[in-house]
């Protein structure tokens, strides 16, 4: 690849960055803010003239999805297309891992075709970091097991920053539901802590990981306690694909006790907003009238996802270009 040429004075970062984005944990505040600033610029372009740029001309990207996805995969593909990258995608069921090839060998094969960056979703926590250790290409984590989903965390932060008029300090963000299996919650917790907001988590005891306080979260005993006086709530899906049997009595009971419904949303501060990473299970973790209501940022988050992925891909490609020149 040739190093992407910066376009537009002041649009893009001058900060050093890695060719990988594996998580928001340990991402320095300056770099996090810089990524959000870049994503906000891309969001303005999406809302205005559109994105039709050459930032990633000459960069080859492979989206390797070993778990299902709509939002993440489509938005990465759109970002790659709009920035002029050469890009291909495959899913686990149509790759040779289905014939017994290892994950690493499969990606090494694709890397041999001169791919510069991989966007990887995998059910195993740590898969993205493992690949980053063994590949010369850059690796962007698109969700690894219960560990992190950094671009989801960034788009949540971008939507919140707009709602909070740019200031996270003093803000309270409730995260409700299946915390134990949520890579979205982990990335959000790291990002909120870095930016100075307070995170309050709530959910069934069986879905609340021990030691969650070490990520800076306060644990509320009920959904009402979490939402009362909060500036935002992030409702989480029950991640049954990662859940052992017997952790919940029933979906109906869960919705009654932990669901984010219209009555509970009234406990938020005036102007408080509702987020959900998707996919939503309406009537379970979130009521339909809340998802479609005036406080909901859910579809705004999806648009932010394209902007964030443009910013992340450009950052990783630029870092890779620098590393190869060094
Ligand atoms: N939020 C999220 O990761 O959605 P997808 O599984 O559809 O990508």
Q: Rounded to the nearest whole angstrom, what is the distance from the C-alpha of residue 2 to the centroid of ligand 1?
A: 31
Q: Which tokens hold the place of 8? A: 């537009």
Q: What is the pLDDT of residue 16?
A: 57
Dist. CA 308–CA 140, nearest whole Å? 12
Neighbours of 160 (CB within 10 A): 26
Kindly list the strands in the beta sheet with 117-122, ordered across the sheet, starting from the edge strand earlier in the chain. 86-91, 60-65, 117-122, 138-144
Instruction: Tell me which residue has its CA closest to atom 3 in ligand 1.
Output: 72
Among the atoms of ligand 1, which is closest to the Cα of residue 72?
Answer: 8
Among the atoms of ligand 1, which is closest to the Cα of residue 70?
Answer: 7
Residues 6+ apart with CB under 8 A from 326: none
Q: What is the pLDDT of residue 4?
A: 40
Q: What is the pLDDT of residue 92?
A: 87
Name every protein residue with a CB atom under 6 angstroms from any ligand 1 atom: 69-72, 143, 149, 152, 277-279
Instruction: Tell me which residue has its CA closest to atom 6 in ligand 1.
Output: 69
The preferred substitution site among 66, 71, 301 for testing ligand 1, maximizing ligand atoms within 8 Å of CB, is 71
Among the atoms of ligand 1, which is closest to the Cα of residue 68?
Answer: 6
The preferred substitution site among 144, 151, 277 for testing ligand 1, maximizing ligand atoms within 8 Å of CB, is 277
Q: Which residues of the chain have pLDDT under 50?
A: 2-14
272, 294 contact by CB (below 8 A): no
State the residue for tokens 């940022």. Answer: 297
Instruction: Tell me which residue has its CA closest to atom 5 in ligand 1.
Output: 69
Q: What is the pLDDT of residue 242?
A: 82
Note the pTM of the prediction, 2 decimals: 0.94
Among the atoms of ligand 1, which is closest to the Cα of residue 74?
Answer: 8
Phi first, then psi, for residue 202 (nearest 5°) are -150, 145
Per-residue pLDDT tens digits for 219-247: 999 999 999 999 999 999 998 888 878 78
Q: Rounded to the nearest whole angstrom, what is the distance from the C-alpha of residue 303 to the centroid of ligand 1?
A: 13
């Amino acid at each position: 690849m040739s190093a992407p040429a910066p376009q537009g004075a002041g649009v893009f970062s001058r900060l050093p960055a890695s060719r990988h984005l594996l998580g928001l944990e340990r991402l320095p505040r300056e770099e996090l803010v810089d990524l959000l600033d870049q994503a906000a610029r891309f969001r303005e372009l999406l809302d205005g003239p559109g994105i039709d740029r050459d930032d990633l001309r000459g960069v080859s990207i492979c989206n390797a999805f070993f778990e299902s996805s709509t939002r993440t995969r489509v938005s990465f593909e759109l970002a790659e297309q709009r920035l002029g990258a050469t890009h291909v995608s495959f899913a686990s069921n149509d790759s040779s891992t289905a014939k017994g090839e290892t994950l690493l060998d499969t990606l090494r094969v694709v890397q041999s075709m001169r791919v510069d960056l991989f966007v990887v979703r995998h059910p195993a926590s740590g898969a993205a970091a493992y690949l980053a250790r063994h590949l010369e290409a850059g690796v962007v984590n698109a969700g690894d097991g219960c560990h992190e989903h950094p671009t989801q965390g960034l788009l949540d932060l971008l939507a919140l920053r707009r709602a909070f008029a740019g200031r996270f300090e003093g803000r309270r963000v409730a995260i409700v539901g299946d915390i134990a299996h949520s890579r979205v919650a982990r990335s959000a917790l790291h990002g909120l802590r870095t930016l100075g907001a307070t995170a309050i988590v709530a959910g069934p005891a069986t879905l609340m990981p021990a030691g969650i306080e070490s990520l800076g979260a306060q644990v509320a005993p009920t959904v009402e306690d979490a939402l009362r006086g909060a500036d935002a709530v992030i409702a989480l899906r029950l991640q049954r694909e990662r859940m052992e049997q017997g952790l919940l009595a029933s979906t109906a009971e869960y919705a009654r006790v932990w669901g984010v419904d219209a009555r509970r949303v009234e406990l938020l501060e005036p102007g408080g907003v509702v987020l959900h990473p998707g996919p939503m299970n309406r009537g379970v973790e979130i009521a339909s009238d809340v998802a479609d209501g005036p406080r909901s940022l859910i579809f705004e988050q999806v648009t932010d996802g394209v902007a964030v992925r443009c910013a992340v891909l450009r950052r990783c490609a630029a870092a890779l270009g620098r590393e190869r020149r060094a």
